[in-house]
Amino acid sequence: MLKSLMAKPGSLFSLLLAALCLCNHFLDYSLALQLSQLGDEFSWLTDEDDEVAVVQTRRDSQKSCDLSTGKWVFDQSYPLYDSNCPYLSTAVTCQRNGRPDSNYEKWRWMPQSCSLPRFDALRFLGKMRNRRIMLVGDSIMRNQWESLVCLVQGVIPTGRKTVSYNGPSMAFHALDFGTSIEFSWAPLLVELKKGLDNKRILHLDMIEGNAKYWRGVDVLVFDSAHWWTHSEKWSSWDYYMEGNSVIRNMNPMVAYEKGLATWAKWVDLNLDPRRTRVIFRSMSPRHNRENGWKCYNQKKPLLFFSHQHIPEQLMILQEVLRKMRFPVHLQDITSLSALRRDGHPSVYKKAMNQEERQNPTATGHSSDCSHWCLPGVPDTWNEMLSALL
């Protein structure tokens, strides 16, 4: 009887068998649909291998996208804010200080192998909602902090933003986002203290006095280079100290490596990469040759370098980062910024009267070829920073 039912096409047995297969197929589909609706909580049940592949692809993509190689292109849609931003220091508001040209504000960095997104203040604040980002370093890092604050503050109502101070740190707060954008003064990262006879001692193996302000921050951006290379006349210390040893003379680059090693050890021991993102920004180039007048009256970026020079500080930094356990991202801004000798304040680092403006080189003004006019080059550093985040 069973054999005869199975043998007949369209028989009751065939219909039952087809219905059973259809039911099983429906149940499989229903289960898959339920799993997909549960979201990420159970995604590892079916997509573990795919998830790993996606992460690896994302990492490979970041490695292949070299934001530091490219060219400057003139873009009339820039700058992204004007020099009336209330958070700018007088020394970097070159337009207000009388600089006659403004094209230095309109150059956009275009990477060679990928695109650099235009800075989007609301998107940045959304990514940093209920988080703290702190820029740690010298006055050029302060330069970058002012740029970042000016890039975001325009989208925040007047009564919903404020600035607070805590020791060597200051913070801009976007209240509706719970976001704070902070700057902490630590140009050498390690501690500089007064000793006997009021002598200034640079402690190459001490950092906690500065680092205590870095704890609890979600994104830390570091920079330290310029103060290590000041000539003896302008040096900020009289002696080095390491352990109990006081040292009068030391190769500045040896001292720099020791100071960075102390910083690296602190990061490795005190920060959790699951909670904190760490970025180290490479040194900002100076155009100080010819007694600081190399950048005066420059109106265009360089198109290329006659010879490529890698600063010794950058090579030391790369080696220190390579030895660390903590994954620190190196943000390389040195070469792209070296093309912008037109972007410095030069003599326009303070307000000038009419007579001074007519002949700025004959009035005893010095020329600042280290810091940057704002709006200007540090805005590009922050576009890169936003892309990294």
Residues annotated as catalytic are: 139, 368, 371
Cβ atoms of 152 and 119 within 8 Å: the answer is: no
Distance CA 142, CA 381 (A): 13
Residue 109 phi/psi, 5° resolution? -80, 130
Q: What is the dihedral of CA 38, 44, 48, 54, to 10 degrees?
A: 50
Q: Can you say how many angstroms the Cα of residue 234 is from the centroid of all Cα atoms in its chain? A: 28
Distance CA 89, CA 374 (A): 9
The residue among 136, 154, 178 whose CA lies nearest residue 88 is 154
Cβ atoms of 125 and 179 within 8 Å: the answer is: yes
SS3 171: strand
Beta strand 179-185 with 169-174 is antiparallel
Give the DSSP H or E segment for 239. Answer: strand 239-242
Distance CA 190, CA 208 (A): 8
With DSSP H G I counted as helix, E B as strand and the rest as coil, what are the percentages for the chain, rounded to 5? 40, 15, 40
Going by C-beta distance under 8 Å and a sequence separation of 6 or more, which residues neighbour residue 304?
339
Angle, helix 139-153 to helix 377-388, in steps of 10 degrees? 70
Beta strand 277-281 with 219-222 is parallel
CA pseudo-torsion sign 55, 336, 263, 146: negative
**Tokens coding 385:** 């920073």
Where do we find the tokens 């280079």? Answer: 225
**Tokens coding 54:** 């996606």
